[in-house]
Amino acid sequence: MTGSDQPQGRASSTIATWAAAIERALNSYACKKTAVDALFADHAIDQSRLIDANYRIPVVVMTKLWRSSVVLTGDDAFGLRVAESVSPTTFHALGYAAMASKNFTEAIQRVIRNARLVSDIANLKLNMEENKVCLYFNVRDDSPDVSYEAIDAFMASLIHITRHYMHTRMPLLAVEMVRPEPSDRKRFDEFFEIPVTFNSHANCFSIHPSVIPALVPTYNAMLLEANEKVMEEYLQKNHLSSTTDIVRSHIEAVLPEEPVLEKVAERMHMSERKLQRLLTSESTSYQKVLDAYRQEKAEQWLNNADKSIKQVSDLLGFGNQSAFTRAFKRWTGRTPKQMLR
């Protein structure tokens, strides 16, 4: 099985820029170039295309590459070294969109919603609890086998990006990993700056709730909008769009008319019941998708301060401004007027 522009048979795939990060990490060990080149050749991965975002590599091939890299380096903390080799472009437009988000909750939710751009086996979940925020790094139930190092690298890369590109530190309360304890656990503890729990039931960050309203220092509304469009086009081109993505695009098309479920289901040529069933399989519902879209757009437009509250209300298909104000307060705990101050 080889890399391709679109995986044959719709095989689960990972963006090639992650293989590029593996290559950079291998070179940092002073591995012989001939050995690194042979490793990629053995797995039929075209090194000349690793910076091509449209080149995607089947997950089964990436898993073999991860494990072969651990054998070559003799380092079972190889995933951490790869994480130190990533940059925002490793995540394609998702990296810049997360950095340009208004606050950290929005950035995390954006990563969750678009993680399949990096690898379509990703199935991240966010649980808001009273005294902590839990971010789970799951994979789909039908996912092929995934190496521990791939999970290590993805988890660690989020910490690396926030520290070195977003100029802040994630307030971690706990880090849990399914993987067995590595030979040198100290490297994990030092990287995450907290003792890591291994042999856990889930791969998870527990984060201090102060992260919820925390503003992102690299927030940029124009850059966010531009990269959202790039992500949407990439997901569609590579047939990675979820039902949630498709529903969001139809909601956008229906607005400023009221985007009721009936209209969206009709545009998607299916019954309302079938659409709800598809959304349920993605652990969401039509109302949740609609609310998330409206909240995202409302905050974006109000932050830009180029539209009045009434204009935002009308553009989002609310019957009146009072209904919009009630909905906005339910979403954010603040009124639109408070948002503008």
Weakest-pLDDT range from 32-46, 120-134, 199-213? 120-134
What is the span of the domain harbouring residue 71? 8-88
Residues 30 and 46 in one domain: yes
Give the lowest-confidence range in 14-28, 31-45, 237-251. Answer: 237-251
| Co-location of 142 and 201 in the same domain | yes
* Cα 8 to Cα 2: distance, rounded to the nearest angstrom: 9
- Indicate if the pLDDT at residue 117 is higher than 70: yes
DSSP state of 333: S
The two beta strands, 133-139 and 204-207, are antiparallel
Last residue in a domain, options 70, 88, 106: 88
- Which CATH number does the domain housing residue 254 bear? 1.10.10.60
Q: How would DSSP label each residue in 145-187? A: P--HHHHHHHHHHHHHHHHHTS-----EEEEE-SSPPPTTHHH
Q: Please tell me the predicted confidence (pLDDT) of residue 3.
A: 45
The structural domain count of the chain equals 3
| Of 1 and 304, the one with more pLDDT | 304
**3-state SS assignment for residue 231:** helix
Q: Could you tell me if residue 147 is inside a domain?
A: yes
Last-in-domain residue among 35, 60, 88 = 88
pLDDT for residue 207 is more than 80:
yes
pLDDT tens readout for residues 62-71: 999 999 999 9
93 and 81 in one domain? no
- What radius of gyration do the chain's Cα atoms show? 21
Is residue 39 domain-resident?
yes
Biggest CA-to-CA distance, the chain:
67
Note whether 104 and 193 are same-domain residues.
yes
**Residue pair 105/299 in contact by the 8 Å Cβ criterion:** no
Q: For residue range 259-314, what is the model confidence (pLDDT) as tens digits?
A: 999 999 999 989 999 999 999 988 889 999 999 899 988 988 887 777 899 999 99
In this structure, are 104 and 80 located in the same domain?
Answer: no
**Choice among 74-78, 154-158, 241-245 with the minimum mean pLDDT:** 241-245
Question: Do 13 and 68 lie in a common domain?
Answer: yes
